[in-house]
Amino acid sequence: MGLERALAMDGITTHVLDGDNVRSGLNRGLGFSDADRQENLRRVAEVARLFVDAGVVVLCSFITPLREHRALVRGIIGADDFVPIFVEASYEVCAGRDPKGLYAKALAGGLTQFTGRDSGFETPTAEEKAWVVATEREKPEFSVTNLRDFVLPKLRPAGAA
């Protein structure tokens, strides 16, 4: 959300797609099995592609645990417009932050197939060329500034080759 605010201050039209705003409507009813995650990500990628075609910078915040999921999304959005960002944080740090109470719910058995607990995560390979945001070692403001500086040169005006 910090990146969205920073880009907006630069006059860039953005939209955030994340689990909260997508799973409450478009993807309501999908669970967290590998098949449901793949369908969730496929739908999100198709929506993101529509926004990108309209000239909007789309910031998609989704756990993409499998490399095949990330390849699917890259194929739909297009390699030129897909910029993977790997937010690096251990399960323990995420559980300590837990702003939505999901880790506590998973610990109590209320969520199954929870990434990092019941379901694995394949970290990006060097070939995936993901930008890493090291949230355990960086202050949020530093991460946002670095991310903005990384993303800005990748943006191009609509219709530009």
**What are the structure tokens assigned to 57, written together?**
């910078």
pLDDT at residue 90 in the model: 87
Asked if residue 61 lies in contact with residue 132, where contact means CB atoms within 8 angstroms, the answer is no
CATH number at 54 reads 3.40.50.300
Amino acid at 144: V
**Does the residue 44 lie in any domain?**
yes
Q: Which residue has the tokens 């605010």?
A: 5
Q: Determine the pLDDT at residue 156.
A: 63
Q: Is residue 161 part of a domain?
A: no
Is 88:133 a contact under the CB 8 Å cutoff? Answer: yes
Phi then psi for residue 158, to 5 deg, are -55, 135
Range of the domain at 49: 2-154
| 59 falls within a domain | yes
Specify the pLDDT at position 41.
Answer: 94
Q: Is residue 160 part of a domain?
A: no
Q: Which two tokens stand for residue 89?
A: 């944080």
Domain count, the chain: 1
Cα separation, 130 vs 119, whole angstroms: 21
Which 3 state secondary structure label does DSSP give 58?
Answer: strand
**What number of H helices and E strands is found in the chain?**
7, 4
Asked if the structure places residue 57 within a domain, the reply is: yes
**Alpha-carbon span 78 to 22, nearest angstrom:** 21
Residue 54 within a domain: yes
- Please indicate, yes or no, if residue 31 is contained in any of the structural domains: yes
Question: Per residue of the chain (161 residues), what is the pLDDT tens digit?
Answer: 999 999 999 999 999 999 878 888 898 988 888 889 899 999 999 999 999 999 999 999 888 888 999 999 999 999 889 988 998 888 899 889 888 888 888 888 888 888 878 887 888 888 888 888 888 898 989 999 999 998 898 886 545 44
The one-letter code for the residue type at 161 is A
Paired strand residues for 60: 17
Number of neighbours of residue 99 by Cβ within 10 angstroms = 7
Residue 159 lies in a domain: no
Q: What's the confidence (pLDDT) of residue 161?
A: 46
